[in-house]
Amino acid sequence: MKSRTLYTGAAALSLALITVPAFAETMTDPVAIVEAANEASYYAGDDGRSAARMLIADDDGNRQRRQFTLLRKDVEDGGDQRYLVVFSRPADIRGTVFRVEKQVGDSDDRWLYLPGLDLVKRISSGDKRTSFVGSHFYYEDISGRGTGEDRHELVETTEAYYVIESTPRDPDNVEFARYRSWIDRDTLLPMRTAYQRESGEIYRRMEVTEVETIDGYPTGTEVRMQDLDSGGETITQFRYSEYDVGLPDNIFSERSLRNPPREWLRR
C-alpha cells in the first residue's frame, strides 16, 4: 500500500486517477483525513492515464468543448509526481500541452506550450489559481494544493462524510478565506468542496457527480466546477482511465511539450 501524500484534494481534475482503500474505523485526526483524501485524489498505482472531455458553459449559455489526455507518474510513493496534459480538440487548441513537475514541500513547476505561437510559457506561482485553458478549473487544480499550505479542522462527522474546514496559512497568496470539503467516509474521496470569502459567502464549488471502480480503485469519472459569481460551470468527464500502464520517465520532459509522446496517447 502506498504511503499518504502531502497534497490536498482541493483540485478536481486529477480525480481521474484515484485510489484508496475503504476505511472501516472512524477517523478523528483532520490532517490524517486530508492526507488520506489527497492520496485518494492524486495517487493510484505508480502511474495512470485517462482521456478527458471538458464542457465549459458560461452564464449566457455559450458552450465550449475541450478534449485531452492526462498522463501521470509518481516519482516516489506519496511524493513528487509528473503530469502531462495533451489537448486534441478543438482544432484551435490541438497540440496545446500542459506539463507539471509536482514537488512536495516546494512550489510546483508548470509549463504550457501554445502551438499557434510555438511558445512555451512558464506558469508562475502567482498564476496557479487562474483559469486552466479557459475553463472554471485552475492550474493548481491539476496537480493539487499542498496540505501544508492550509490549517485543517474536522468540523463534523456525518454518517457519510468527514467535513473538513481548511484555512490558508498565507491568505495573501490565495483568493479564498477558507474552504470546506465533504470527504466520503468509505472511499475517502473528496466529493464536494466549497470555497468561501471572509463573509462566509460561497463563490466556487467543486462536486464529484459520478464514481466508478476502475482496476480496483474508486475513481471520480465526472467532476463539476461551478463559478457561483458568474453562473458558469465546467464539467469534466473522464474515460478509459487505467493504472500501472508503464509510462517511461522520459516522456515527462521539456521535449514532450513540442513533441508529445503519441504512442502513450493512444488507447
Query: Quick check: 73 pLDDT over 70?
Result: yes
The predicted structure's pLDDT at residue 232: 96
Q: Is the pLDDT of residue 9 over 70?
A: no
- Which class is 30-259 in CATH? mainly beta
Per-residue confidence band for 5, with pLDDT thresholds at 50, 70 and 90: very low
Cα distance between residue 55 and residue 61, in whole Å: 12
As beta bridge partners, residue 86 has 69, 97
Q: Classify 224 as helix, strand or coil.
A: strand
Residue 15's pLDDT band, with cuts at 50, 70 and 90, is very low
pLDDT exceeds 90 at position 210:
yes
Question: Considering the chain, what percentage of its residues have pLDDT values greater than 70?
Answer: 91
Label residue 23 by pLDDT band (50, 70, 90): low
What average pLDDT does range 95-108 have in this prediction?
91
Domain ranges of the chain: 30-259
pLDDT one-digit tens code per residue, 121-141 = 999 877 888 899 999 999 888
| pLDDT given for residue 14 in this prediction | 54
Residue 12 above 50 pLDDT? no
Looking at residue 216, its pLDDT comes to 87
Query: 43 and 225 in contact (C-beta within 8 Å)?
Result: no
Task: Please report the pLDDT score of residue 144 as a whole number.
Answer: 83
Predicted local confidence at residue 143, as pLDDT: 79
| Spatial separation of the C-alpha atoms in residues 18 and 2, rounded to whole Å | 12
pLDDT in tens, 141-179: 887 888 899 999 999 999 999 999 999 999 998 999 999
CA distance 196 to 94: 35
Global confidence as pTM: 0.87
| Owner of C-alpha cell 460551470 | 233
Distance, CA of 105 to CA of 184 (rounded, Å): 26
CA distance 48 to 50: 7
pLDDT > 70? residue 43:
yes
